[in-house]
Amino acid sequence: MNKISIIGAGMTGATTAHWLAERELADLVLVDVVEGMPQGKALDMLEAMPVVNKDVEIVGSNDYAATKGSDIIIITAGLPRKPGMSRDDLLKVNAEIVGKAATETLKHSPDAIFVVLTNPLDTMAYLAMKMTKLPRNRVIGQAGILDSARMRAFVAMETGVSVENINCYVLGGHGDEMVPLTRHSNIAGIPLKDYIPADKLEAILNRTRKGGGEIINLLKTGSAFYAPAAACAQMAEAILKNKNLIVPCAAYMDGEYDLKDMFFGVPVMLGRNGMEKIVEYSLDEAEKAMFEKSAAAVKDTHEALKKLVSF
Ligand code: TXD
């Protein structure tokens, strides 16, 4: 049986475990700093397995040693921004958490592929890669599947068409400057622009860009976790089953799309080696301009990180 360890057993981490357990894809380990919590959630989930007829081992721990021999390490550990905390303060705190989680788990699982979720996403994935010194195929960030899924959901709500028929691609950094590629998005092969009136499409794009905030406003405490966790489970499945699935993910750019030494949301082929390759779309001038704006925002955060952490 494959093994997946999830660092951070909070809302997103535990829900990722839930989606993964249902897939009977791997034995699971939940690790968190809070005593008893990962053990409790793991045992509760394990006790659900007889009901859903899945043979999956689920273990909770406060010790990274429990992650030994993992095929995939998913990092969702981090703190949310607290009152009075600047973005840089949060960056520093989460960098310490993610850096330690990545380097410590690597010691126990030298062959693992890392999937990072902690925000600020692109920069935390960058940090994990720099700290572990792993080749770029083994560190991937989750953002684009979620942003694209939101857009797909909104298109389905607008048109009444099955989500299975709806293909949307949202690239770029995981933030307000994300880049929804409408020209490449379609309903059963029909370009979105031909199916949905321009004003309705614009409203969908706006709602997609603000999708994370919409959930935060509704929940009042915490942020989205069902959809991010589902996205994460899809990535793990594509990797373990060597599917060569092309999905938008944050990957380390080495010249693709004219970007270098940064993580950015692009179409990535996921297989047993993790990020098998980056797929390059042809972009028109307007799309290139959106890409550049989004890349500049991500680079700013990368630069802020470099001032706080040395690697
Ligand atoms: O699409 C995406 N990339 C995202 C990102 C979608 C959803 C959530 N996203 C980010 O993931 C979010 O902005 C946060 O940075 C993380 C985790 O979000 P979540 O909603 O799961 O937060 P929780 O519920 O607070 O869980 C975080 C857990 C919590 O249980 C802490 O005790 C734990 O992380 N934590 C740690 N675990 C292990 N090791 C250390 N050092 C540690 N520090 C905190």
Neighbour-count burial of 28, counting CB atoms closer than 10 A to its CB (0-12 exposed, 13-18 middle, 19+ buried) = buried
Please check whether residues 57 and 111 belong to one and the same domain: yes
The total domain count for the chain is 2
Whether residues 243 and 183 fall in one domain: yes
174 included as an active-site residue? yes
Of 102, 123, 141, the position where a domain reaches its end is: 141
Looking at the structure, tell me whether residues 83 and 174 fall in a common domain. Answer: no
CATH code of 261's domain: 3.90.110.10
Q: Clarify whether residues 172 and 301 are in a common domain.
A: yes
CATH number of the domain encompassing residue 126: 3.40.50.720
> Model-level pTM?
0.97
Is there a single domain that holds both residue 126 and residue 199?
no
Q: Concatenated DSSP letters for the chain?
A: -EEEEEE--SHHHHHHHHHHHHHT-EEEEEE-SSTTHHHHHHHHHHHHHHHHT----EEEESSGGGGTT-SEEEE----PPPTT--HHHHHHHHHHHHHHHHHHHHHH-TTPEEEE-PSSHHHHHHHHHHHHT--GGGEEE--HHHHHHHHHHHHHHHH---GGGEE--EES-SSTT-EE-GGG-EETTEEHHHHS-HHHHHHHHHHHHTHHHHHHHHHSSS---HHHHHHHHHHHHHHHTT--EEEEEEEEEESGGG-EEEEEEEEEEEETTEEEEE------HHHHHHHHHHHHHHHHHHHHHHHH---
Q: Looking at the structure, do residues 184 and 240 belong to the same domain, yes or no? A: yes
What residues does ligand 1 touch, defined as CB less than 6 Å away?
A: 7-13, 31-34, 76-80, 97, 101, 117-119, 121, 142-143, 146, 174, 222-225, 228
Mutate to test the pocket of ligand 1, among 33, 39, 139 (most ligand atoms within 8 A of CB): 33
Task: Output the CA 98–ligand 1 centroid distance in Å.
Answer: 10
Domain end (from 141, 160, 190): 141
Alpha-carbon distances, residue 176 vs 58, 138, 248, 297 (angstroms)? 36, 27, 16, 9
96 and 189, same domain (yes or no): no
Q: Are residues 230 and 131 in the same domain?
A: no
Per-residue confidence of the chain (311 residues) as pLDDT tens digits?
A: 999 999 999 999 999 999 999 999 999 999 999 999 999 999 999 999 999 999 999 999 999 999 999 999 999 999 977 777 777 788 999 999 999 999 999 999 999 999 999 999 999 999 999 999 999 999 999 999 999 999 999 999 999 999 999 999 999 998 888 999 999 999 999 999 999 999 999 999 999 999 999 999 999 898 999 999 999 999 999 999 999 999 999 999 999 999 999 999 999 999 999 999 999 999 999 999 999 999 999 999 999 999 999 88
Token pair 């940090």 is at which residue? 127
Same domain, 22 and 68: yes
**End position of a domain, from candidates 141, 164, 194:** 141
Same domain, yes or no: 156 and 89: no
Is residue 158 located within the same domain as residue 262? yes
* CA distance linking residue 274 with residue 152, whole number of Å: 25
Do 172 and 274 share a domain, yes or no?
Answer: yes
CA distance 57 to 49: 9
Atom of ligand 1 nearest to the CA of 9: 30
Range of the domain at 111: 2-141
What is the whole-number distance in angstroms between the Cα of residue 285 and the centre of ligand 1? 37
